[in-house]
Structure 1
């Protein structure tokens, strides 16, 4: 039986992890072509995948292995144009990203290659992806201030008290706005019943290079690698192979049901692994187990949550998504510009990514990383010549 303290921590972790970011996940899945039923299935599959993966890894390895869906990955999808095959092509990208994560765990050269991507460039790419999302609360407040202003005020006030409460509190006010402004008569009670939708992936160069590889890079650089670092910082010594292999496998299996990427968590991992979880380090894994079980329970209500969110005024989900990612955007920009030696390459990566251009079927995130990486390599070679 889990200690009471770990149960309460696990509950808080699950509430923060789910309700702080599910609007972003829905935005991302929908942007790459998912229908309402497919989006509900994707939310359900993502919640079940991260819940089961967290329970499995924590029980087997006896460490607080908190698992999440890739919020930065979902943000990347939200600004990505659908590939020619539609959502079936996006699903192919999800499967590829999961397979690459598995390979990273089993075959060290690929893992080292992912880790070799300069952190400032990876963060600049993420910041470029997030830019068009974090400005949405500004444009939304002009479009419908009566709905958006209460959400913004709630987010700001709660953020001064406890940053972990800010976005869930904003989600609660958003839910109230649905009750006030939405047409509840259109709510279908049948949506409460889970309805997984299997989508057969259609592989193509655009799906692999335009969705799969960038999704893998964003998730590895901003979730999996930091997640491993957080767990190790609390004195645990997990092997990267079993952890990456497991989250990658869960991603590949849940991808055909619409879930983008399952990955190691960083923020919620710190919550599970800290002394606030339990004074006894050997008991803290129960917090991740409890959180995983609650994620699974929430996943079973994904259809109801998605149907309810669909009744919201059009400005609500973009506003919540922008607020939820504002802190991530600030951190990414700081990390991207911190190193003066590659600041120019980071800025180029950011600008090209934020432009949203699509050339040869590849989006701005891919081109931003390619061009920025080329500038970075040239600059390093020139610097090395000047030194010698």
Structure 2
């Protein structure tokens, strides 16, 4: 293994860790708070996820000698941000995280189950994801309306950097967010002292509670978006880069690490999509057989960043919530546009995708179950009706 190490792969690994953490940790915090986590529980969840995905990435890359990049479920976090607090509060959400982890393990170990997940119509799954993300994508513009002096610099920096180098747009917006807090927010007396006290790694064990509404409104949609938007594309990206991964065991291992992080507030870890392309591409190393070191170094970086989750969360809490929501929204604009295009691309499934999108985005809650589940059900039902009508025609 040491013979395969290279400075080029190491540099890419450091970049992957920074981009992966900085570009979406705000979404994770918003998602955990959306299902009832306190600030400290959200910090604990962020730490658990970052450490788990770091170790998981190292284990998979060393085991397979493939550049297996692992990430937290950003679409899942976006889903939770709009799901609402289920009956039973955050402990019920943690119970749902554990069930989701179990489903991911089953998808990896039981081939028919995994094939059934893959058979979920892509337009419907993408429309559900677009509907989930939509409201959070409004946040950057709401932040400008809230206080233009605070919200506008973040939006402008993101737009300018995105026009030239999309990969660095969200980290640049995050840097603008930090500058805005330091120079533009009137911090209460003792705020910095309070932040300094939060530097220790946050660890909060949450006893899981099983709640049927939480299982239906959190566990099932979280499982679907994690598999459809992260795990399956992650395998596809490895194949595009000439690798031949065995998907089942990889899914099962990510499910196991998801289960380990759940009692500490982590919702799900999975195969990465965007950062997978960075680790598996030629920029990591000209020799494909030596690129796995980029994923190993990225895993080490995630563990280090995870241990600093308390400091990150404490600093974020010094600003108005709408500002960090705006960073989260900017991080999801690309995902929204991609999922929306994929959802409405096919004319034959466009009505079903529209129904799924509208029901999900409406934010309705029936029987304590969030709109993401009902959007999925409505979209599949509409798709079935359309197919039946075409057969009768």
TM-score range, shorter chain: over 0.9
For the Cα contact (< 8 Å) 1:182–1:313, is it kept in 2? no
2:354 to 347, 351, 362: 347
Structure 1: gaps spanning 5 or more residues: none
- 1:204 and 2:204 equivalent? no
Q: Secondary structure at the match of 1:172?
A: helix
- 1:313 and 2:320 equivalent? yes
For the Cα contact (< 8 Å) 1:182–1:311, is it kept in 2? no
2:336 to 324, 329, 340: 329
- Equivalent position of 1:297 in the other structure: 304
2:84 to 76, 81, 84: 81
1:314, CA displacement in angstroms? 2.8
1:385, CA displacement in angstroms? 3.0
1:38 to 27, 34, 41: 41
1:182, CA displacement in angstroms? 4.7
- 1:274 and 2:276 equivalent? no
- Equivalent position of 1:12 in the other structure: 15
Alignment RMSD, CA only? 1.0
1:192, CA displacement in angstroms? 1.0
Matches within 5 A, 1:160-179: 160-179=163-182
- Equivalent position of 1:68 in the other structure: 71
- Equivalent position of 1:186 in the other structure: 191
TM-score for the superposition, normalised by structure 1: 0.98
2:252 to 245, 254, 262: 245
- Equivalent position of 1:123 in the other structure: 126
1:201, CA displacement in angstroms? 0.6
Q: Secondary structure at the match of 2:270?
A: strand
Aligned length: 386
- 1:382 and 2:386 equivalent? no
1:195, CA displacement in angstroms? 2.5
Distance 1:206 1:293 in 2: 37
For the Cα contact (< 8 Å) 2:92–2:214, is it kept in 1? yes
Could you give the per-residue CA deviations for residues 277-322 of structure 1, whole angstroms, max 9, x where no partner exists?
Answer: 1001110000000001000000000001000000012321111011
1:161, CA displacement in angstroms? 1.8
1:106 to 106, 109, 115: 109
Q: Secondary structure at the match of 1:74?
A: helix
TM-score for the superposition, normalised by structure 2: 0.97
Distance 1:194 1:16 in 2: 21
1:286 to 287, 293, 307: 293
Distance 2:322 2:259 in 1: 32
- Runs of 4+ aligned residues of structure 1 deviating over 4 Å after TM superposition are none
Could you give the per-residue CA deviations for residues 249-299 of structure 1, whole angstroms, max 9, x where no partner exists?
Answer: 000110110011101001100110011110011100000000010000000
1:3 to 6, 9, 20: 6
- Equivalent position of 1:50 in the other structure: 53
Matches within 5 A, 1:225-236: 225-236=232-243
Q: Secondary structure at the match of 1:315?
A: helix
